[in-house]
Amino acid sequence: MSPCIQLDRGGNLRHFLTLEGLSRQTLVEIMDAAESFISIGERRIRKVPILRGRTLVNLFFEDSTRTRTTFEIAAKRLSADVINLNSARLSTNKGERILDTIRTLEAMHTDIFVIRDNCSGTSHLIAKHVPSHVHIINAGDGRHAHPTQAMLDMFTIRQHKNDFSRLKVAIVGDILHSRVARSQIHALKILNVPDIRVIGPRTLLPTEINKMGVTSFYELDEGLEDVDIIMMLRLQLERMEGHLIPSAQEYFHCYGLTAARLQRAAPDALIMHPGPINRGVEIASEVADGSRSLILEQVTNGIAVRMSIMAKLITAHTDSKEKKK
Amino acid sequence: MNLLITAGRIIDPANGIDQIQDLYINEGKIEKFDDRTTINIDRVIDAQNLIVCPGLIDLQARLREPGEEHKATFDTEIAAAVAGGITTICCPPDTLPPIDTPAMAQMIRQRANEIGLSQVLPIGALTRSLAGEQLTDMAALKNAGCVALGNAEKAINSTVVMRRAMQYASTFDITVFLNPLDPWLKGNGCVHEGEISTRLGLPVIPEAAETVALARELALIEATGAKGHITQLSCGRSVATIAEAKERGLKVTAAVSAHHLHLSEQDIGEFDTRCHVIPPLRSLADRDALRKGLSSGVINAICSDHQPHGFDAKLAPFSESAPGISGLETLLSLTLQLVDENVLTLPKAIAALTSNPAEILGIKAGHLSIGAQGTLCIFAPNKRWKINAQQLKSNGTNTPFDQKSLPGVVCWTIIDGKVAFSIEEDKKINGG
C-alpha cells in the first residue's frame, strides 16, 4: 500500500478516511475514549470544551439527515462551531468544484471537514490538497469507505461481546455497493475476528472479495450457521428496480432475516443494521424490533464514537505539534 | 541538402538489418553511399554508440486539435512527438468536430504540414458524427488522406451498421480501426473488475466488456472479409482470441498501449487518477499476457494512446477524473524498457514502433531502404533519463511515470533529411 495519507509523520491520525492500514491500538483507543463520551450524553449539561473555538464543517454532497445529524451533535457536544452545507454537485467539472469549495471554506479557518460524497475517493482527494492544520473525516465516499459507521459498529459489538478474536461475524446483503461493508471488513480484520463471512447473491458480491480476508456464501442459512453477529446491509431502492436482483420479494425470500432463519445463528447472536432499515426487504420487523437487535444502540453510540474520533484528530495532532516545539 | 550519419547501429526491421554502418540522406531520400570523399557533405552526424532506426509511427495519439485546444495543440504535441522520436502520428476521428468529412481530414493534414515536422495521418470516422448510424463517405475520406477508418471510443451498437460499415470499407480496401468495448458492460465503469475495484469500491469495466465486443468484431471481420485493426487490447484473454482469429486466416492486426505493458490495476494504489485509462489497467496476469502476445507476434504494434489533459482534469474523484495518459515522450523508452526486461529483442521492439505500424496502415514508411524517405530516430539505448512530468514538451503532464527512470534518450529526429529534433539544440534552448 502507498504511504497512508491519513497519518502524519509521527504516525498520529491526521485524517480519518478509511480503516484500512490503521493499527489495532488506534481502534481500541477510539473505542476506549468513546466509552468516556457516552456518559456526557447522559448528563444534564451535555458539553465538554475539547473543540471550543474550533470550526467544523459538515460538507454533504449526498443527502443524509441521520449521519449528518449525529456528526453535528457530536461536534456540538465537544463545543465546536458547526456549519452544515448540503450541496448536490453538478455533473461537470465536479473535481474542480470540490477543491474550490474546500479552498473557500479553508480560507474561513475551518479546522475539520466532515465529507460525504457519492464518489469513491473524494475524501482522499480532498485530504491530499488541504494544508496540514485541516482535518478530514470521511462520512462516506461512494462504495469505498464509511469508517465512522464501522467504528460505531465495533464499539457496539464490544459492549456486548468481550473478545473479538473468538467471534463469527456475517455481513449480509449488497456488499458490492456498500461502503459500510468494506469498512466493517477492515475493522473486523484489524480487531482479529477470525471468521468473517459475506452473504448475498453473486450479483451483489464483488469479485475477489475473498482477497479482503472473508469467506463468501450465497445461501443465507448456510452462512448464518453459528454466527455471533449478523450485520445486515440496506438494500437501496434502485438496486431493486435494476437487474441486480429480480424483485424485493425474491430478495426477502432468499436473503431477508427472519426469526426462523435467526435460529441458525448462535443462540445469543446479535443483529445490527446501519439504518435506515427496509422492513420486509432485508429484515423482518419482528427481528428488527426484537430483543436481539442492536439497531437503536448503534444510533446512540454513533454520537460518542464520532466525538471520540474528532477529539483524537485534534488532540493527537496538537500534541504532536507541541512535542516538535 | 545532404546528411551523413556515421557509425550508428542501423536497425531496420523491415529489411532485416541490424549492423553498424553509415547512412546517407540526399534531398530527403536515403541513398546508396560508397565513397564519401567524392561528395560534399552538408552535415555529418556522429552516431557512434547510438541506434539509428526509422522514425517511429504512433498508431494512436490525440492531439486535441481541433476542438480541445485548451488541453493541447498541434504545435505543442508535435514538438513532443519529435522529441520522442515519433515522425508519424495517427489521429483518431474523435476530434471536435469529428473527422467525418474530407474537409476535416484535409485540414488535419494541412495543419501538420504547416508545422512541417511529424506527419499527422487522420483516421476517418466510420459513421457520421460517430453516431453509429449512417456511414461516412468512405471513398472520399480515403482520397482526402485518411489512412484508415474507425469510430474511436464511440461504440457502434448496431451489428447491422457495423457489418455494413465493414463491408463498405472493404470495397475500397480501407482498414477498419476497432476499439472493442461493450458499452453496456462498460457502463459508468472506470477500473478493471478485480482486487482493486473491490478494495476501493470503484465502478468496474469487466474483462467481458472487451472480450464480448472483440468476439463480435472478429465474427463480423470474418463474415465480411474486412481488414480490421484492434487499436488497443487490455486483457490476456483477448490476446488468445486474436491469436486464434489470426490462425484461421482473418485479416486482423492488434496494438497495445505502452502503459498497458507496464502498469496494472495495482498501480492505482490509493485512487491515483493518473492511472485512470480506458481500457482500464487490468491484473498483473493480463499485463504479462499482453507482453507475451507482443513477443509472440500476436500483437503487432505498440502505440502511445497519447491523451494530454489540462492539469485539473485529474484533480477529481477517480471516477470523475478524465481518463488518459500523456504518452508521446515515453513511448520509445517504455518500449526499450521491455528490451531491458527481456520481453522483446531490440529489433522486435523497434519493429513494433516502425515497420509493423507502417504495414498496418499500408504506408510507405517505417523502413530504411534505398529510396525511402530519410526519416529517422537516432537514440542512445542505454542512457537513462528521469521523467519529469512538468518538463515534458506535451501540454499534458498527466503521466504515472513521473519521476521514473527509463532507458533510451532520443538524440536526433530526422524528417525527410532535415533535423526535426536535436537534443543538443534542445538543451541550448531549454537549458536542460
> Which domains are assigned to chain A?
24-144+300-319 (3.40.50.1370), 147-295 (3.40.50.1370)
The region of weakest confidence among A26-40, B22-36, B67-81, B376-390 is B22-36
Write out chain B residues lying below 8 Å of A198, CB-based: none
| Mean of all residue pLDDT scores within chain B | 96
Taking the CA of residue B290 and the nearest CA in chain A, the distance in Å comes to 22
**B321 chain-A contacts, CB cut-off 8 A:** 95
In B, minimum Cα distance to A122 occurs at: B317
Would the CB atoms of A120 and B319 count as touching at under 8 Å? yes
Cα separation, B398 vs A1, in Å, equals 22
Report how far Cα B104 is from the mean position of its chain's Cα atoms.
21
- From the list B201, B271, B321, the residue facing A143 with the nearest CB is B201
Cis peptide before B308 (omega within 30 of 0): no
Of A310, A318, A315, residue with least CA distance to A56: A310
CA B413 → CA A129, B211, B349, B420, distances in Å?
A: 40, 38, 18, 5
C-alpha triplet B334, B336, B340: angle, nearest 5°? 110
User: Which chain A residues are Cβ-neighbours of B202 within 8 angstroms?
Assistant: 120-121, 142-144
Q: How much is the average pLDDT of A185-201?
A: 98
Block residue for cell numbers 480560507: A107
pLDDT tens digits, one per residue of B259-306: 999 999 999 999 999 999 999 999 999 999 999 999 999 999 999 999
Positive or negative torsion for Cα A238, A239, A240, A241? positive
Secondary structure (3-state) at A253: helix
User: Chains A and B: how many Cβ contacts under 8 Å?
Assistant: 82
Q: How confident is the model at residue A91 (pLDDT cuts 50, 70, 90)?
A: very low
pLDDT band at B146 (very low <50, low <70, confident <90, very high): very high
pLDDT in tens, A222-279: 999 999 999 999 998 777 777 899 999 999 999 999 999 999 999 999 999 998 999 9
Domain B56-361 belongs to what topology? TIM Barrel (3.20.20)
Categorize the per-residue pLDDT at A104 as very low, low, confident or very high, splitting at 50, 70 and 90. confident
CA–CA gap between residue B406 and residue A223 (Å, rounded) = 50
Nearest alpha carbon to residue A8 among A306, A318, A307, A310: A318
Asked if residue A284 has pLDDT above 60, the reply is: yes
B320 touches chain A (CB under 8 A): yes
Answer whether 0.90 is exceeded by the pTM.
yes
Torsion sign over Cα A306, A308, A311, A314: negative
Instruction: List the domain boundaries for chain B.
Output: 2-52+373-430, 56-361
Mutating which of A6, A118, A119 best tests the B interface, going by the most B Cβ atoms within 10 A? A119
Contacts of A184 in chain B (CB under 8 A): none
B2-52+373-430: in CATH 1.10.620.20: no
- Active-site residue B305, yes or no? yes
- Nearest CA to B59 out of B422, B425, B365 is that of B365
Lookup: cell for B167: 463491408
Q: What is the pLDDT of residue A92?
A: 46
User: What pLDDT sits at residue B38?
Assistant: 63
Q: Which of B94, B100, B286, B305 is catalytic?
A: B305
Quote the mean pLDDT of chain A: 91
